[in-house]
Amino acid sequence: MNEQKLSMIQFQTHIRLLQHLPRMHYLEVPQEVVQQLGTLKIRLHCTVNQKLKFQCGLMALGEGKAYISISKKRMQEAGIKLDDTVAVMLQKDNSTYGTEVPAEMEELLQQDEEGNRRFQRLKPGMQRYMLHHVAGVKSVQLRVDRAVTLIENLKKLPEGKENFRAMLGLPPR
Residue 3 has pLDDT above 50, yes or no: no
pLDDT at site 6 = 60
Contact of 12 with 85, CB cutoff 8 Å: yes
Say if 3 falls within a structural domain.
Answer: no
Query: Same domain for 17 and 38?
Result: yes
Q: How many domains does the chain have?
A: 2
Q: Hey, which residues does 56 pair with through a beta bridge?
A: 44
Percent of the chain with pLDDT strictly greater than 70:
96
Query: Same domain for 80 and 13?
Result: yes
Average pLDDT over residues 74-78: 94
Say if 1 falls within a structural domain.
Answer: no
Query: Same domain for 87 and 107?
Result: no
Say if 173 falls within a structural domain.
Answer: no
Q: How many residues comprise the chain? A: 173
pLDDT tens-digit readout, 116-171: 999 999 999 899 999 999 999 999 999 999 999 999 999 999 999 999 999 998 88
Q: Which residues contact 36 (CB under 8 A, 6 or more apart)?
A: 5, 6, 9
The pTM of this model reads: 0.73
Domain that holds residue 125: 103-168
What is d(CA 135, CA 44) in angstroms, rounded to the nearest whole number?
19
41 Rama class: left (phi>0) / alpha (psi -120 to 50) / beta:
beta
